[in-house]
Chains A and B, each alone.
Chain A
Amino acid sequence: MCKEFTCIVCPVSCTLNVSKEGEEIIVKGNNCKRGKVFGENEYKSPKRILTTTVKVEESCHKALPVISSDEIPKEKMFECVEQLYKMTVKAPIKKGEIIIKNILNTGVDIVASRSLKQI
């Protein structure tokens, strides 16, 4: 089966045609190596970086921005977000501080993407 994707690695935004012949995944339409890797992953199991916020107390802001330390399987996005919305953290927070380790057993951590002082 041939699938069509837009490569999101860089702004050229190549249209990729990805198919499987036997065990081999064939990527067509890419202009670079990174596009080939993206096409293969997108065919096997699409992954994305997750950025969202969690509630924070004792800070001048009400939300702490967080980012995943690596890409997370696309179908687990909403489940991850749900888990993050249930929690509340307290300032002070340092950028890079782990908020949830190994979220949903993906092997990926959720970390703070900024520092927040305590008030």
Chain B
Amino acid sequence: MNPFSKENQILLREMIKTDFKLRYQGSLIGHLWSILKPMMLFTIMYLVFIRFLRIDDGTPHTAVGVLFSMVTWNFFAEATNMGMLSIVTRGDLLRKLNFSKEIIVISSVASAGINYSINLLVVLVFALINGISLSVNFLILIPLFLELVLLASGIAFILSSLFVKYRDIGPIWEVIMQAGMYGTPIIYSITYVLQKGQESIAKVLMLNPMAQIVQDIRHFIVFEGNVRGWDLINNHFIALIPYVLPIIIFVIGLLIFKKNSKYFAEIL
């Protein structure tokens, strides 16, 4: 079954719509929360970064860079985690209806994507307040977002296939994500690592697509002086790795998922 057929598009739309509709079900101010919550969270984080955390690399707007990286990482964490659980949570449905299983995972990633867009808008407000001016460079967010979606969906496909059989994947992934967060230049920037004189470590770190994405955002949007992996790694074939990896992961993930999805209904 083609996951991008017309029926599946409709189903995907309905599922995302429902998910969004029910997100703030029963709350007084409803969808205002989707703006208000990140607004308040980021204010706290911003103040903490500026006042207390001293991993300042000296470049301008460091705190905004951290916020951008943070929401990007949060999207990745939410998409992979929700995607992993999605097949099992919808188990009762799968056992009784025949429809494209890819849609379930994709809809989880899409829901996280909607969240991400809202968060990005809020961070944008912080950026403007901080004196970063709007420019064409902001458009870089679009290809980066696509890259991020490919990476997250690919991993979500693999994780959800495994999670159906082995629930151990749940805690394992949580631990990996925790390690990944500190192994990725989120609350520190790669410039900071370089300032500490750890150039080889910085190079290895930059092979991670997530590191590449957040550093690209820092470079193009926050401050031109932020180092990209592309500038850091001299061999451009190696520097290309983080850009190609998401595509490979997505294809492999989809293949694994397709192979296993036939038997989801029986295993669940």
Q: Tell me whether A and B are bound partners.
A: no
Which residues of B does A touch, CB under 8 Å? Answer: none
